């Protein structure tokens, strides 16, 4: 794929007319997908796809178009030439873009991650063996993801990574199920079995009669998956320069120094240890890491090229949405075996669902519990809980209410596969929080 992409970029360079310039991006994958239901394979398959996006610039006007590629150079050359012709026809009719910024310093790079994935059949055999006697539904996706960048200035960047994710639920009855996930770059049978055993134990608790507790404030344990949901909501405008300058950030009180988070909280965009490439669509190279929150205080922003141009600052290679792609919450000191004892009496939350802002300027989020949520007494899980709605601020969850973060962070890969597999990831511990508010 890399050789074909570079060849197409070189061909385009030879077709340019003064004063034209271009940037181009490549997105490809070779992925195995296996859907399971009732602990049986229902739909296996493999997807190979390639896409080429060309952004043509003439002066201060630019326009982009995308085409699928076949892998045959002669066919793909004609497709790319067609995109170029369409963009040339379109450009004179477009307004100038005062905030368009592309990299002019040539910084080429190449990274090829080693493929340590198991054969799809081996992973599925392991899953089916562990699921024997259970009602399992889920999807396994794995394979190589390829990203590229090229420009008419001669810059060339390539990134290949190999990863897998397996999202599954063990079903009990009605709306009762335990949801779990396992993801990474190399299959660890011991770790997978641990996750399956934990899910099986929780499934056993779901056989007990579910309780309904009154609205109020409770001490809670939020699993890494639940924290992932909160971090992704926080990332929706929370870390970008433009959202801060336009006063739309849900973390505005933190950014402007009106409040702070717990000293235990340090957040960073850690590209070096994530799944996303270290370059972006305008050709800027991302630093290995960008500190966003350091010991509870705002540290810096994600700055896209457009924001950099608009506000007269340097970009740090953020995407156009200024949304973190490899966010990491530093771990704490609560060991896995101490979670229930530290929680004491309260609520064990495995998953959160349907999150949204109930007060965006105030950093307040609402959502639902789902799947395995348990009532805990004196460090022991005693009963499942019926679905509840919460309404709480990020400043309490990660601030004054934060009791502790767990010591073992978990890498959670974005399971989004609509159109193509995502390269987003979250690395996070779980958290114990006091005074977490449930409204229904």
Write out pLDDT tens, residues 316-336. Answer: 999 999 999 999 999 999 999
Q: How confident is the model at residue 292 (pLDDT cuts 50, 70, 90)?
A: very high
Q: Taking the CA atoms of 382, 384, 386 and 389 in sequence, report the sign of the dihedral they define.
A: positive
Mind listing the domains of the chain with CATH numbers?
A: 2-205 (3.30.2290.10), 216-438 (no CATH)
Taking 90 as the threshold, does the pLDDT of residue 337 lie above it?
A: yes
Report pLDDT digits (tens) over 244-278.
999 999 999 999 999 999 999 999 999 999 999 99
Work out the pLDDT band at 22, boundaries 50, 70, 90: very high
If you count DSSP H runs as helices and E runs as strands, how many of each does the chain have, helices first? 10, 20
CA–CA separation, 242 and 208 (whole Å): 49
The average pLDDT across 366-390 equals 96
CA 406 to CA 221: how far, in whole Å?
Answer: 10
CA atoms within 13 A on the CB side of 121: 0
Beta bridge partners of 376: 346, 381
Rounded to whole angstroms, the Cα distance separating 250 from 394 reads: 9
**What does the block give as tokens for 33?**
């997908």
Q: Is the pLDDT of residue 43 over 90?
A: yes
Flag whether pLDDT at 366 surpasses 90.
Answer: yes
Mean pLDDT of the region 104-121: 96
Q: Which long-range contacts (CB under 8 A, 24 or more apart) does 16-20 make?
A: 16/152, 19/58, 19/59, 20/56, 20/57, 20/58, 20/88, 20/152
The whole-model pTM stands at 0.94
For residue 174, name the pLDDT band (cuts at 50, 70, 90).
confident
Strand partners for 32: 46, 142
370 pLDDT exceeds 90? no
Identify the pLDDT of residue 173: 86
pLDDT per position as a tens digit, 190-228: 999 999 999 999 999 999 999 999 999 999 999 999 999
Say if strands 216-222 and 431-438 run parallel, antiparallel, or are unpaired.
antiparallel
Q: Which residue has the higher pLDDT, 131 or 174?
A: 131
């Amino acid at each position: 794929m890399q050789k074909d992409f570079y060849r197409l970029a070189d061909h385009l360079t030879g077709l340019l007319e003064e004063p034209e310039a271009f940037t181009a991006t490549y997105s490809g994958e070779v992925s195995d997908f296996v859907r399971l239901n009732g602990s049986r394979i229902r739909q296996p398959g493999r997807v190979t796809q390639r896409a080429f996006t060309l952004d043509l610039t003439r002066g201060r006007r630019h326009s982009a178009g995308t085409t699928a590629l076949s892998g045959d150079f002669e066919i793909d050359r004609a497709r790319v030439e067609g995109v170029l012709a369409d963009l040339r026809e379109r450009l004179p009719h477009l307004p100038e873009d005062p905030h368009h910024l592309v990299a002019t310093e040539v910084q080429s790079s190449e990274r090829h991650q080693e493929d340590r994935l198991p054969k799809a059949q081996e992973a599925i055999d392991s899953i089916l063996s562990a699921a024997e006697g259970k009602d399992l539904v889920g999807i396994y996706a794995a394979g190589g993801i390829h990203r590229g960048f090229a420009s008419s200035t001669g810059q060339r960047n390539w990134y290949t990574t190999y990863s897998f994710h397996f999202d599954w639920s063990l079903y009990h009855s009605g709306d009762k199920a335990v949801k779990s996930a396992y993801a990474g770059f190399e299959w660890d049978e011991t770790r997978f079995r641990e996750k399956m055993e934990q899910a099986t134990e929780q499934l056993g608790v779901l056989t007990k009669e579910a309780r309904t507790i009154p609205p109020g404030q409770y001490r809670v344990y939020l699993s890494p998956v639940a924290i992932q949901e909160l971090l992704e909501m926080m990332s929706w405008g929370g870390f970008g320069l433009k959202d801060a300058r336009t006063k739309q950030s849900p973390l505005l009180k933190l950014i402007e120094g009106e409040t702070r988070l717990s000293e235990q909280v340090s957040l960073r965009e850690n590209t070096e240890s994530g799944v996303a490439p270290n370059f972006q669509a305008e050709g800027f190279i991302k630093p290995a890491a960008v500190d966003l929150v350091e010991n509870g205080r705002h540290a810096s922003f994600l700055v896209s090229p457009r924001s950099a141009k608009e506000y007269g600052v340097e970009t740090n290679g953020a995407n156009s949405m200024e949304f973190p792609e490899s966010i990491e919450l530093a771990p704490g000191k609560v060991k896995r075996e101490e979670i229930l004892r530290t929680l004491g009496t309260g609520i064990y939350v495995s998953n959160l669902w349907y999150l949204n802002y109930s007060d965006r300027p105030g950093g307040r989020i609402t959502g639902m519990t789902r799947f395995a949520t348990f009532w805990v007494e004196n460090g022991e899980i005693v009963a499942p809980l019926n679905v509840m709605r919460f309404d709480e601020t990020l400043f309490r969850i990660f601030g004054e209410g934060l009791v502790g973060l767990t010591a073992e962070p978990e890498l959670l890969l974005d399971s989004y596969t609509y159109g193509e597999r995502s390269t987003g990831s979250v690395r996070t511990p779980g958290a114990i929080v006091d005074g977490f508010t449930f409204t229904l």
